[in-house]
Amino acid sequence: MVVMSFFDLVSSRHSVRAFKEQKMSDDTIKKILTVATKASSAGNLQSYQIFIIAKKEDKKRLAAAAHAQNFIENASVVFVFCADPAASAREYGKRGEDLYCIQDATIACSYAQLAAHSLGFSSVWIGSFDEDQVARILNLPSGLRAVAMLVVGMPAEKPEITPRRPLSEIIRTL
């Protein structure tokens, strides 16, 4: 296995939407999720839960809920990151309920995405989906909110790295 510097890892990661149908080992899934749980979170509450979907029929249902993004069903695994507003609200009130839990879940998703890439897998972050439909598919406990799907697998394509906006368009110094 080739070990990349962090900067090379981040620079070489890109979204992939075509996957080889290949299972992912439980050990690999555990490695990715262990890294996800190392992510920063408000008050270290980790106010999120992560659902692992590997069965073809469940991935197909998620693809339908994600507005027919059918490539999802060919991925090795889909991680669904769900915010837990109640857990965050107990410590931070309304701001925790409305914001911090979502930030916690999405930071964890980012860590998982980088971990998967470091292990040789590709991924795409899915935010466009019918939240109620995903909740039904996953049989989410009341109060949890699906906020991101991370679709992971072995790439069946190698798209070009998309250019990014120059720093001068993004950064503001006061």
Give residue limits of the domains in the chain. Answer: 13-158
Tell me the H-state helices in the chain.
6-12, 26-36, 56-65, 85-95, 101-118, 131-138, 167-170
Overall CATH class of domain 13-158: alpha beta
Q: Are strands 48-53 and 122-126 parallel, antiparallel or unpaired?
A: unpaired
Rounded to the nearest 10°, the torsion over CA 136, 138, 140, 144 is -100
Q: Which residue has the tokens 């999802």?
A: 72
pLDDT digits (tens, 9 = 90+) for 8-27: 989 889 899 999 999 999 99
pLDDT, tens only, 27-58:
999 999 999 999 999 999 999 999 999 999 99
> According to the model, what pLDDT value does residue 2 have?
64
Q: Is 139 exposed, middle or buried (0-12, 13-18, 19+ CB in 10 A)?
A: exposed
Residues of the chain above pLDDT 70, percent: 99
